[in-house]
Chain A
C-alpha cells in the first residue's frame, strides 16, 4: 500500500452534552484507526449518530480531535487547514457552499479565485464540470431558485472545481430522485476514471455504495465495525437476498427448497417471498426449483438494503 491519503490512529472525539442539568460526555468517534490509499473509493456507512460526520469533520480540520492522530493528504488537518483545503473537496448534502443570492456561475468564479486557479485552469475546469453535470441551463440562475437536483450538481461542481485529490461526500444523494442520483453517480465514476480522485462517501443509499465504492467501512457507536468489500459485508452479516415470485395460480407455501427460507405468501400463495443465502445457491437455482412446482409469471430480486446490513452488524456486536 502506498502512502495513505487518509490515516487515523486512535482517533477520538467527545462532545459534552447537557441534558436535564446533568453534564455527560458523548463519545462520537471512539478510537478509530483506519487507512485509505490514494485512488480508493470508500463507502462510510452507519446509522444516524454513529459518528460518520464527526469523522469527516476531523479529517478536514473543522473539528479538533479529543485524542488520537489524523493525517489527511499528508497534512495535519487542524494546523494545516488552509493548505489541506486546496487538496480536498467536501460536499455536505445538508449544507450549501454556494452563494445563495448569486447566480451559480458567480459562485464558481469566487471559488476559483479562492483556490487560486489561473484563468485558463478556471475556464477549462468549469467547462468540464458544466458539461459533465449538465449545468449549462441554470448557470445564470440564482442559487435560491434552483431545484434540489440542480443545486446538488452545483454543490458537487463547487467542491470539485479545484480538482482535489480527495473528495469527501456526506450524504450526496439525500432527497434526490432516481434520475438525479443516477446522473450524479455516473459523474463521480467518470471523475474518478479521468482524474484518479480518491472518494470517501457516507450514505444511506445502497445504490451509492454498489455503484461507486470498492471498499466499505461500517461505523457503529464511533467504532469501526467492518472494513472490507461489499460482497464480503453481505457474507459477514449473512444478509440474504430475497426472490419475489408471482405465480399463475395459488399454490401452497414454497417450503423445502435448499438454502431457501419461505418468508410470506400473499393472495393465497399467488405472490411468495423467498429468502435465499447467496453464498450457497443462486437466484437461478431457486427459480428453477420454484418452476417445478408452479408457473412463474413475474419475479424480482430484492437486495439487502444498507439499513438491514448495518442493523445486522450492530446486532452481531451487541
Chain B
C-alpha cells in the first residue's frame, strides 16, 4: 500500500509459522562482495548464509500431505468497485494489515489517500465469490465471518465509527458464529442486503459514494463513505496445477483438489497415500483446516505404520506378449498407474491401480485382463442375458458404486418400475467397452443403457469421462451402420437416486416398445464384426490416434 517500507530482512507477518526472519535478496545491498552484512554480525546463532540457494531435495516417502494453501482473489478485474482507480478502496487483507499493531501504521487505522482516520466504512461481501460471471461461482466460506470480525475489531478500536456491510447472504453457520454476528449488529454495524452496482469518488475529498439496491426495502440507496473494504474471496493456489500433475490429482469444477469421497474420505486423494489438509481441497476456516490436518496426519501415520498394505483385488494385468506397445492405456489411466515407454510393453503398477477398468475397455488387442471383470466374463454375461427373448429386455450396464446402488435404493424403497431391465454390473462405467455394447445389439438387445456416477461422484477420479467419449463414438458407429443411435442411452444415476433409476427404467421400457423386430434383425447383421486387421496395422492406427 506504500504506507511504509520493509527491511531486507524481516518476519513476513507477526503470526508467521515458523516465526523466523527471511532475507529478501532483491532488497539486500548485496553479498558479492558483502556491502552491509550487519544482520550476519548480530545473529548469535550464525543462521544467516548469504550464499544459500534454492535446491531440489529428493526424499523417499510413504505418504504425502498436500497443504499448499490458497491465493487471494485480485479484485482489479471488477472495475465497478474501483479498486485500481480509487485510493480509498482496499481489500480485506489490506484492512487486516492496516489495523494490525504490527502493520505499517502500528495499528492506527488511516485512509491511504490522506492518512486521516475514516469514520464511515463500507464492506462489500462476495468480491470474487459466488459470481459465475467471473468464473467463481463458489462461496469462499470465510469472508462473512472475517468481515464480522473486522467490524467488531474496528468498533472496538474506534467506537465512533459507522460500519456498513453490503451482502448477499450472511453465512454464519459455525459454532458461536451467529452470536458474533448478533454482537456486530448490536455494536452498531448496519447490514444492507444488496451489493453496490457502482462506486463514485469525490476527487477533492477522496470520499466514496456507493449506489446499491437494498433488496429488503426494494429501494435504491446512496451511501457516503470515507473508505471501502472489498471482502475478497479465495482462489485455488497457483501451484495447484503443478502439484496436480506430479501426484495425478484431479480438480473439481471450482479448481480445488477433488477428494476421494466427499463424505467418507474427505481427506484422502483418489491417488493412494496422498492426503489433503486445508484450503487446497476447498475453502474452509482455520478450525476446519486444523481438523483436516489432524485427520490427514492420522491417516498417513496409519499407512506408514501398517505392517502390510492391502491393495485392491480388482486390478488390471497386462499380457506382455499381447501388448501392442501403443501406450493408449497409459494415457487414459486416471491414476497414472500404467507405466509405458515407447517401444516397450505397458506395465500396471498394482499398488496404484484402483480397478476402474478403463484401460481394459480401451485396449484393442485384448492384452489387458481386468481381474474379476474380464472381457470374457462380461461378454458371457451379455450373451447369457440376451440368449432368450432379447426383444423383451432392456440391457443395462450399471457401475458398482452409484447406478447399481441406485437400483438397490429403488428396490428397498419399494419404487415400482418395469421388470424388463437386465443389469450387468461393472466397477465403473468406463469398464464397458464399445465391443460389449455392440455385442449386446448383436445379441438382439432392443435398447442398451450405460449408466454411471454423476461427474462429481466418479469413484475413479474422472474415469466416467471415458464413458462419455466411448458412447459418443458408439452413436456415430450405430448411425453409420444404419442402426437408430437412440437405442443406446447414457444416464448418470447416484446411489441415492432410486426415483431416478425407476424413472429411467420406465423411459427405457417406453423406448424398447418403439423398436421393431426388423430394426433388431438389421442391427444383428449390420454390426457383425469385421475381419480383424493384423495387430501391427492396428498398433500403427492406435499410435496415430494418440
Same complex: no
Please give the residue numbers on chain B whose beta carbons come within 8 Å of chain A beta carbons, in ascending order: none
Please give the residue numbers on chain A whose beta carbons come within 8 Å of chain B beta carbons, in ascending order: none
